[in-house]
Amino acid sequence: MNISGLIQARMGSKRLPGKVMLEIESKPLIGHIFDRLREVKGLKEIILATTADKKNDILEKYALKENIIVYRHEDENDIVGRLYESFKLVKSDAILKINADCPLIDPFYLQEGLNIFSNSDNRLDLVTNKISKTFPDGYSFEIVSYKAIEWCHHNIKDSYNRELVMSWIMKNNKEFPRIYSIKNNKNFGNYNLCVDTLADFKKISFLFKRLYKNNKYFGLEDVMSFLK
């Protein structure tokens, strides 16, 4: 089974424009996500899924420099279309999807999810740690099958659900009954550790400043220990 990593990103964030290219420890925020995805064993390749907006030219340039495949979609809000076309480009059975506001994403849990998806006797539609709500915002991921995205691309017509396609899949067990929910053994669901605002960026930058020099891939347990 082939699984590729995918980062969903754009420069046009309303609350913090250009955040994915803001530097943390002398590297663009999204570069840390590239690095953390590279730590996951068994990924075929990594693709950046962005849009055709010229603002994203700088993002594409950086990704290509990092040997990351790039796909640019015309419709910014058509997430399922963006994922479907990305699938066609990498020709994988599934993608491990991360949003670009998650520079702390933990390779340990990504690996756990990939192993569950790959080793399942039943062909899973989705593996995710979002449903359990036991992980902080900023640590979420989904591993979704090509067949699930293909079905959604051809059958979901309204723009709202095409944009929020992952939530649609999670809520529609009739179409997608094979969903595996990863639950953390400690409930950290009340923490917000993603980057949406300047205040978030400063908080995450501080965590990197304190933890990055000892371990470039410091994980959730390291962050929680530090915050306590």
Smallest Cα–Cα separation from 141: which of 154, 160, 157, 127? 127
Q: What is the pLDDT of residues 129-142, one digit of tens each?
A: 999 999 999 999 99
Nearest-angstrom CA–CA distance, 214 and 211: 6
Q: What's the whole-number mean pLDDT along residues 48-60?
A: 98
Q: What is the pLDDT of residues 166-201, one digit of tens each?
A: 999 999 999 999 999 999 999 999 999 999 999 999
Give the model's pLDDT for residue 22.
98
Domain that holds residue 128: 3-227
Give the model's pLDDT for residue 122.
83
Check which CATH number belongs to the domain holding 207 and give it: 3.90.550.10
Q: What is the pLDDT of residues 35-49, one digit of tens each?
A: 999 999 999 999 999
pLDDT higher than threshold 90 for residue 228 = no
The answer to whether residues 29 and 22 touch, using CB atoms and an 8 Å cutoff, is: yes
Beta carbons within 8 Å of 76's beta carbon, 6+ residues apart: 10, 12, 51, 53
Total number of domains in the chain:
1
Q: What's the whole-number mean pLDDT along residues 8-27?
A: 95
